[in-house]
Structures are given as C-alpha cells and as structure tokens.
Structure 1
Amino acid sequence: MSSLNASLSIATQSLLAQEDNLAVTNNNIANVNTVGYSRESVSLSEASPTDEDGVSIGNGVTINGITSVQDELLTLRIQQQTSTQSSADAQVNALTQIQTLFPSTGTSLSSSFSSFFTSLSALSSNPTSTANRQTVLSSAQTLVNQFNSISAGLSSPASSLNTSVKTDVAQINKLASQAASLNQQLVQAQASGQDSGTVTDQLNAVELQLSGLTNLTVTHTSDGDSLSIGSGTPIVLGSKSYALSTTNNSSGDLQVLDSGGANITSTISGGDLGGTIQVRDTDLPSLSSSLDTLANQFATAFNAAQAGGYNQNGTAGTALFSGITSTVAGSAASIKLATTDPTAIAASSDTATGGNGNVANLTALQNTVLPSGQSATTTASNLIYQIGNLTSTATAESTATKLSLTSLNNEQSSVSGVSIDEESANLIRYQQAYEAAAKVVTTIASLFDTTINMISGS
C-alpha cells in the first residue's frame, strides 16, 4: 500500500504541475499583444528521491514557482541605449532651434562681416562720398544688430531648458516612488510563492522610463531593485524612494539636488535630463563664449585701427564700436555703434581731407588674426560650423542608437515575447502530460479497489 500511496502522490503532483503549465500557457496566449509582457514559465525540479533497501526511488516533481523569461543583460543594454537615445534626441531638439541663429545662407553674422568689409573697400575708392560713408555705418549697425540678436537668441533657450529640467526631475521622483512600491510588492509575492512576473514587468517598464530621463544604474537585491543616477546618487533602495529637488544658481539655471541637498547637476548624463543639461551648461556657454570673444576682439582691433587714422575733419579717429570692456563675457549683447556721424570714419592716414591711406588698415581686419587665433570672418564661419557639428553629431548618435535599440528589442522579443506557435505546441504537450498523469491516477485507483476487494474477500 505504501508504494501505491507514493505513486498516487507522484501522479497528483504531476497533475498539479501540468495544471500550472496549462494555466501559464493560457496566460501567455492571452497576453500575446500586451506591450511589455514577458512570457512566463513554470519552474519545475525533480523531487528528492527516496532510498529503499539501497534502491533510489523517484518522488516525482516539485513546483518551484512561476517565473518570467527574461535576459537581464539584454534588459540592461536596452536601458543604456534608451538613455543614450533620449539624451541625443533632447540635444537635437534644442540645438535645431539654436541653429536658426547661425544660418549658412541669407543674412547671418558671416554675411554681415562680408558686407561691412565690402562697404569699407568701396569707401577707399571715394573716401569723401557721404553715401559711401553712410553705407559703412549702416553695415556696421547691421553687424552690431547681428551680435545683439544672436546673443539674445542664445540666452532665450535657457528658460525652456530649465522648464525641461524641472519637468524631468518631477517625473523621476514620480517613477522612483512607483519603483519603491513595486519593490515591496515583488518581495511580498516572492516570499509567498506567488507569481511575480506581472510585478517584474511593471518594474522593468518603470526602469525603462527612468532610463529615458537620465543615466540609471540598476542593482538587483533581495529587497528588490536598487536604483541610482549620476555618479551613484540613490533614488530607490528597497521600498523607499529618495526624491530629488531643484534650486536656482546665481545665473538663474535650475540645479538638481539629491535628497540630502547636495548639487548633483554635473554628474547627470544620459536621458532627456542629461541631454538638456548638456546643451544648457556646455553647448550654449561654449557658443556664447565664442560669440562674445569675437565681438570683443574684433571691436577692440577695429577701434585701434580707427585710432591710427584721421576722420574726414582731419582729427584723430575715435572708436566706431562701444559697449566693449575688458570683460569678454556679455560683449556680443553690449556691443553698440558709437556714432552715427559719417565723417567719423578714419579713412585717412593723415590730416589731409579726403585721404584713404587708413582704409587699408581697416579692411585688413577682415583677414587679420585676432588674439583668439583666427580672423573675424573665419571665426564667424566657424560658429556656423560649431553649431552645425553639434547638431549633426547628436543627430547621428540618435539615428545609430535607434537602429541599435530596434535590434535589441527584436532580440528581447525572441527571448521574452510570446510565440503563438510555441505556446500552441506547449498546450498539446501539457495536455498529453496531464492526460497521462490522470491515467496513472485512474490506474492506481483501480489497483486500490482490487487490493481492497482481495482483502474483503479473504
């Protein structure tokens, strides 16, 4: 009887195992089109055998639980690539708007320089012409306007970028709170032996969204997933989340603070937040610095050339550009035309009225190397190249990462996605296994009846 009882127990466990297999397969089929769903499988292992009279006899199957079929390495790579692409996209969106300030055709800083020096060349042929002198002043004013306009244009994106920083930080805090709650549910489900696949999928989805916002590091622990950003700033530890905050610096730019109030802005990279900070704190200041340096050095050099000549009234030339100080920062915004008097242009090299000897010194500044190491016209052209290169690099990275993500998602789908053909085949396999186990139960029940009848008959 003990052998029949053992066999019945093995058969019953087999029935339960196949029931779980059928239920999980049914759930997989039901979620074949559910975004983010990872197919599940029943984890089974052989039960420890029993040793009887030196003979090892199997004890059937043990149900360990239900697990999601996932590749953690693939998930990590997808998170990393998502972070990279979101950062590149944020940079492209911001830089594309900034690029309009540096057109390669039409009215631009480069074309304004060209027009200014062309007007000076025309003045050389007829230095007493009031019309020619007025054209020089008009061209100079256009150049000044370009500096002022571009400087203002480089300042305006900071406001929208700061808004993006604030929005991203709020979203990170919201998702971190959700992750902490899911960690708690995951630990409870695993402790009670319940299916944790749904919670795991939800946690992965939250982590993927966080990766789209910043550089996320995920560490699996017994208390769930620990999440950190930047250079290791924790935002989730077990069931507890740690909120970030923002504050303005002296320039009015939003800074990101950790839960303890430490400034972590410079450590953040990747994701929309990292890309936004990259443009605001690195790309924009670099462009502004180049523009200010050009305005300051060109105006200083031109004013010096003016001082070396004489105006139409025979007196020493005075500055054509004002608003320039020894402090380079802000020069593009502050540069102005110092005079509206056409006679003030120091075209002559001596006090003689109508001379043009100093025009050559003025026009030479078109190609004269400034302290920055390049001429004014070359620097103006390089500004167009600088913003174009930044935009092109970010666009190329976005495109390349998008292709990589597509490949990784396809690979993940082949691992974690639901295949109707595979699940249909599993249904048949588990059905047959269930029927076989049921047949064993029926056979053992029949043997029990026979044995009981034999005992009753005796």
Structure 2
Amino acid sequence: MGSSLFSIGLTGLNAAQAGLVVTSHNISNAGTTGYSRQSTVQSTNPALFTGAGFFGEGTKVDTVKRAYDSYLTNQVLSAQTKFSEYDTYSNEISQIDNMLADPTTGLTPAVASFFEGVQEVAANPASVPARQSMLSTAQSLVARFQNLSSRINDVRSGVETQVKNTVSEISSYASQIAEMNHKIAVAQQAGSAQPANDLLDTRDRLINELNQLTRVSTTTDSSGSMSVFIGTGQPLVVGTVATKLEAQASPSDPTRNVVNIITQGGAITVPENLLGGGKLGGLLAMRSGSLDSAQNQLGLIAVGLSSAFNSQHLLGQDLNGNLGTNFFSNPTVAVQRYNSATTATPDVQFSDITKLTGDDYKLTFTDTTGGYTLSRVSDGASVTAASVGLTVTPPAVSKVGDSFQILPTRYAASNISVAISDTRMVAAAAPIAAAATASNLGTAAISAPVLSSTTNLASFGTTAAPLKLTYSGGSLSGFPATLPVTYTPLNGSPVTVAAPAASIPYSSGMSVSVGGVSFTLTGAMQDNDSFTLGPNAGGVSDSRNAVLLGSLQTTKTLLSANGQPSATFNSVYSQLVSAVGNKAREVEVNRDAQESLANQAVQAQQSVAGVNIDEEAANLIRYQQAYQAAGKVMSIASKLFDQVLALGQ
C-alpha cells in the first residue's frame, strides 16, 4: 500500500510540475506575437483490480495542447488580408488624389492661364508682348502636364519597387514555411505524434505575415504538413517544396513588373486578376484600377488639347503671311511589342480624338498578311480601330499570334511640348478675307470667312486677283469651277450645288460653304453687286483665328457620345479628379471598416488562444497547491513505509 500510495503521489507530483512548466511558459510568452496558449491534458491511469474492487493508480499527462480554433484563425486571415489590401491601396492613391486635386499644382489653373494668354492675343493680335505672354503660358501649361505625369511616374516607380520587394518577401516566406513543415514533421514523428506546439505557432505566424502580403489559403495533411495556396488557388508551398516567385519586367511594358513562377522550364506569368488580397493585391489593383487610368486620362487631355489647338492653328495665318504650323508637338500613339519577335510594328495613328476614351488596347495578328483583332485591355472586349479614334496600318507580312500593346494616351502628357518659339509664328489671323465691292448699290454685307480646311485656298485667287462673287437676277455666281457649293437659307436646310454650274439663289441671312471656307450674306442686293474672297494681305491686326483658338477652352472636343463630343478639357480633368477622389474615399472607408472587422476577428481569436495573465496566475497557485498536496501524499507514503519496516524490528 505504501508503495502504491507513493507511486500515486509521484504521478500527481509530475502532473502538477507539468502544469507549472506549461503555465510558466504561457506567462513568459504572453507578449510573443503569434503565441497560442498551451495547457496540459490529463487522464486517469488504468486502475488496479483487486478482490475488493478497482483501486486508482494516479494520473498521467497525455499531451500539451495549444488553444487553437481553425475557424477563428481563418476569419483573422480573411479580415487581415483585406485590410492590408485596402490600406496599401489607400496609401498609394492618396498621393495621386492630393496632387490632382490641389488648387495650385493641379492642371485647371494652368489651362485657365494659357487660354487667358490666347484671349490677350485675340484682343491685341499685333502686340508682341501679348504673343510672348501666350507662348510663356503655353510653356507653363506644358510644364504642368509634364510635372503631373512625372509625379505619377514617381508613384508608379514606387509601386513597381514595392511589387518587386513584396514578391521577393512572399518567396522568402514560402521557403521558411516549407522548412518549418520539415521541422514539424521531424519533431512530431520523433515525439510519438505529439504536437510540436511552438513550431506550429511559428508556422502560423509565418502564414499570418504572408497573408498580409497576399491572400492565402491552407490545407493540412495527416502528417501535419501544411500546403499553402495564394490568390485563387496557385500552390505556393506543397509539403516541404516551395514555389519560387519573382517579379520581372512585363514583355509588353519593360517599366511594369509582373509576377512570375520560376520553373526549370522558364518563367510562367501569373495573371494579375488571380493575385488578390494583401499588400500585393492592393498594389496591383491600384496600378491597374487607378494609376493607369489617371495617367491615361491626363494624357487624353494632353492629346485632346494639343490636337484641337493644332488643328485650329493650322487654319490661321501668322505675322509673316504664312499659314499656321503645329503650335504643340504632334501627339503620337505608343505601340509596344507584347510577344512579337518577328512581325514588324504596325503603324497606329489618331483618326478622331473625340472617340478616344483613355483605354489601352491589345492588337493580335490573325493571319500572315496583316489581318488582326483589337481588344480593350481593361475588359477584353473586341473593338474596331475607327470606333476608338485610331487608324491601324498593319505591315504587309505578319505572323499569326504576334501581339502588340497600344497605349494611345499613356505618355502623351509627358511628351507634350510647344512647337514654336517665334512670336511671329502665332497664327492669330485668318488666311482668307472677304469684302463688299465699293461700287455696290445694295445693302448686303458679307461676314468674315471661317476656315475648316486650307486645302483649296489657291482656288480663291491672289491678293491682286481675288475670287469675285457677283449677284444677278436673284442668284450669286462666280464660285470656283472645280468646287461644289453648299448654301443654307435662313431657317432652311443645306443644299449642295455641283461645280462647275455653281450658281445659287440668294436670300438674306444665308450661309455659304465652299472649299473649306464658310461665310454669311445678309441684306438686300442689286444686280452687279459683288463680293471678293481672297488672301488676307493685311492680317496684322486680324484676330479671327485667335478668337477661335480661345473658344476651344469651352468647346466640347472629347468623349464622343451619340456621335458628338460631350466634354471640354476642363470637364475631363474634373471627371478625373472626381474619379480619383471618389475611389480614394471609397478605399479609405473600406479600409476603416475592414480594420474594425480585423480587430474584432483578432479579439475573438485571442479570447481563445491568447494568454490571460490573471488566469495564468490563478493556475500557478492551483498547480502549486496540487504539487504541495502530491508531495504530502508522498511524505505520508514514506512514513507509512517506515512504520512497516519498524514492525519487523
């Protein structure tokens, strides 16, 4: 009996000691990130059967269990990866939002200042200081475009650097988790399949940190090895094998990093839409959803303004008597090879700026003679070049499957520049002048001509012998024999008369268009009254074209809707500022909400797995008393044994 009692006391002593060790371990790691509270699991030793019944044999410690709830852990992972994604997105987009919306450094004041310079020339076309002011404000506008684009490029560079570093971190975590799987398998096999709690906590901590970089999901096999998947199920760790990820330059855009899986056969690109969640998901979503769009829309304004202004400036006449040239550099379409190594690059040009949307496109050749398909990058929808304001001239020979990325407006803001520096080259005047003959007996008058084309200016004669329109018998004649004439009576519909029999009936208030020159005739006419249309010899004080240039500020020239332009330069920029601001606010709200959810999930998980110091202090006292009681049992057993020995003396 004494021996049995001693053994029972010893089991109690060992169990209490194990409880003290585990409790001390909990207290020591109360502040350790990722630590899960541990506790001993005890059971009763098999009882000893005797004729008087079963007598207990004390207790045993079956295992040390960590407080772990897979459901709560998955909730934490889900909430934290979304918070990390929103937080990253918010931090990055706020930089663009602050820049575009700034009333001083934004584009709106620069556009307003430039058109004030144009209006000054319209008011004083012969003034050299006014012309110099116009060129200076144009340079300031160009600098603002370039500065905004440069700042966006800085943000883009920062995003690309973070993408590269984040992918490197993900790959590093994969290696650490694979190594931890190996350690856990070895430890648990060596310990009769007892859980390696501290190693399991370390692995969970690594997965939690990985999850904040990119969304992960996990599965655990019977050996305790955990497989980790990212995105929508791409394997990152399988057992003790880790997949190597690397961020590399995109084949279609060397300035853009894509995520590649590195295999023995080469690199396999993981589509961006498969990599959601975490910091990486936030960076990729911000880059494709806001950064690209902001730079493209800024470029759209640069293309629209420079193209519209150039088109009108070409219709004017400068102080040297020459037709206007491009005021801004001519915008070009960027075409980048995607997977083509053999096919010559197609020639892509702007055809109608009103149809530009700020989207990017992918051109893929479908045959060997230049046949191709064109799709929008954002959603993969098929489009035609004409419907998006472009013309595509493919090479004569192509290879099926070769692809190119078309970026119509991406670099327009950084490439815009002022094309003239001589104040005399500002085309403020119109090249065609109109006048009534001094000998006219009627009261009719002709308006200042407006040009839509300079192609047929030679048809209007020379300064010495201008084109002469003569009224007789109710009709006007004398139009160029090679050009059709379109006239529109007041409150009437347009009528076209083919050349050379171009004689049109006259009515007061009618408008006439011939060879790209339009004018209006009003008043009463008498036979032999005439009007001349010819080169503008005295255009120094003429501001007709400058007035038209100034009106472009409020003219709808972009974003065609139902076949007609629907937006001005300023309204497109306002839409850009609004879109970025709304997205920034949306992401900020989602971030704050997700942070609250993440905190709640962590609190719920910690209520199960976290260390409560008060509770552990109580456990210390409990195990201490159990230890002392077990020691007392052993002390009594020892005394009883001594008494038995004394009986034999």
Q: TM-score category by the smaller chain? A: 0.7 to 0.9
The question of 1:415 aligning with 2:608 is answered: yes
Question: What is the aligned partner in structure 1 of residue 419 from structure 2?
Answer: 338
Q: Secondary structure at the match of 1:21?
A: helix
Decide which of 237, 254, 264 is 2:257's aligned counterpart: 254
Task: Select which of 17, 27, 32 maps to 2:30.
Answer: 32
Whether 1:203 aligns to 2:233 is no
Q: Deviations over 1:229-274 (max 9, x none)?
A: 1222222222222221232223212222124332115122222323
Query: Percent identity over the alignment?
Result: 30
Structure showing greater relative contact order (alpha-carbon pairs closer than 8 Å, 6 or more residues apart): 1
1:280 aligns with 2:287: yes
Secondary structure of 1:322's partner? coil
RMSD: 3.4
**Which among 292, 295, 310 is matched to residue 302 of structure 2?**
295
**1:309-331 CA-partner distances (Å, limit 9, x unpaired):** 44455554443222223353332
Q: Distance in 1 between matches of 2:215 and 2:278?
A: 6
In 2: Cα distance, 1:75 partner to 1:214 partner: 16
Secondary structure at 1:365's aligned position in 2?
helix
1:400: how far off?
A: 3.6
How far, CA to CA, are the matches of 1:376 and 1:282 in structure 2?
A: 22
Query: Of 88, 93, 97, which residue of structure 1 is paired with 2:86?
Result: 88
Contact kept? 2:76, 2:602, Cα under 8 Å: yes
Q: Unpaired runs of 5+ in structure 1?
A: none
2:158 to 157, 160, 163: 160
Post-superposition offset of 1:364: 2.7
The residue that corresponds to 1:230 in the other structure is 231
State the alpha-carbon separation in 2 of the partners of residues 320 and 420 from structure 1. Answer: 75
Q: What do residues 6-28 of structure 1 show as CA deviations (whole Å, max 9, x unaligned)? A: 87766554443222112211222
Q: Distance in 1 between matches of 2:162 and 2:105?
A: 31
Q: Give distance in 1, aligned partners of 2:302 and 2:168.
A: 39
Compute the displacement of 1:377 (Å). 0.8
Write the distance in 2 (CA, Å) between the matches of 1:304 and 1:258.
Answer: 49
1:342-388 per-position Cα deviation (integer Å, ceiling 9, x unaligned): 34333445435223334443233222223324210111233333443
Measured at CA, do residues 259 and 315 of structure 1 come closer, stay the same or move farther in structure 2, by a change above 3 Å? closer
Equivalent of 1:362 in 549, 572, 576: 549
**Is the CA contact (8 Å cut-off) linking 1:309 and 1:358 kept in structure 2?**
yes
Secondary structure in structure 1 of the residue aligned to 2:174 = helix
SS in 1 for 2:247: strand
* Residue number in structure 2 paired with 1:431: 624
Query: Take 2:60 and 2:629, find their aligned partners in 1: how far apart are those partners?
Result: 17
CA distance in 2, matches of 1:218, 1:30: 29
Instruction: State the Cα distance separating 1:300 from its structure 2 match.
Output: 1.9
- Alignment match, 2:215: 215
- Count of equivalent residues: 454
Per the TM alignment, residue 208 of structure 1 is displaced from its structure 2 partner at its CA by 1.9
Structure 1 contact 81–401 (Cα < 8 Å) conserved: yes
Deviation string 1:86-120 (CA, Å, 9 cap, x unpaired) is 33343344334445642522243211111122222
Cα distance, 1:51 vs. partner? 8.7
Q: Identify which range, 347-356 or 107-116, moves more after superposition.
A: 347-356
Deviations 1:266-310 (A, max 9, x none): 122222323233333443221121122221122222223334444
Counterpart Cα distance in 1 of 2:285 and 2:145: 24
For 2:575 and 2:185, the matched residues in 1 are separated by 57
Range 276-285 or range 9-18, more displaced: 9-18
Query: 1:198 Cα deviation (Å)?
Result: 1.4
* Contact 1:230–1:264 (8 Å) recurs in 2: no
Q: Give deviations 1:34-75, integer Å, cap 9, x for gaps.
A: 34332210123456778999x888776453210211333333
1:375 and 2:568 matched? yes
When the two structures are superposed, what TM-score results if normalisation uses the length of structure 2? 0.62
CA contact (8 A) 1:214 1:271 kept: yes
CA distance in 2, matches of 1:66, 1:360: 87
Change (3 A) 1:140 1:273: same
Structure with larger Rg: 2
- The answer to whether the Cα contact below 8 Å between 1:290 and 1:383 also exists between their aligned partners in 2 is yes
Deviation at 1:154, TM superposition (A): 2.6
How far off is 1:168 after superposition?
A: 1.9
Which residue of 2 is the match for residue 322 of structure 1? 329
**Alpha carbons 1:11, 1:60 under 8 Å: kept:** yes
How far the C-alpha of 1:162 sits from its partner, in A, is 2.8
The equivalent of 1:181 in structure 2 is 179
Q: What letter is aligned with 1:368?
A: T
8 Å contact from structure 1 (residues 307, 346) kept in 2: no
Contact 1:104 1:384 in 2 (8 A): no
Q: Which stretch shifts more, 310-319 or 150-159? A: 310-319
Aligned with 1:161: secondary structure? Answer: helix
Partner of 1:142: 140
C-alpha distance in 2 between matches for 1:6 and 1:286? 81
In structure 1, the residue matched to 2:378 is: none
8 Å Cα contact 1:218-1:226 kept in structure 2: yes
The 8 Å contact of residues 302 and 362 in structure 1, kept in 2 or not, is answered as yes
Identify, as 1 or 2, the structure richer in helix: 1
Residue 211 of structure 1, CA deviation = 1.7
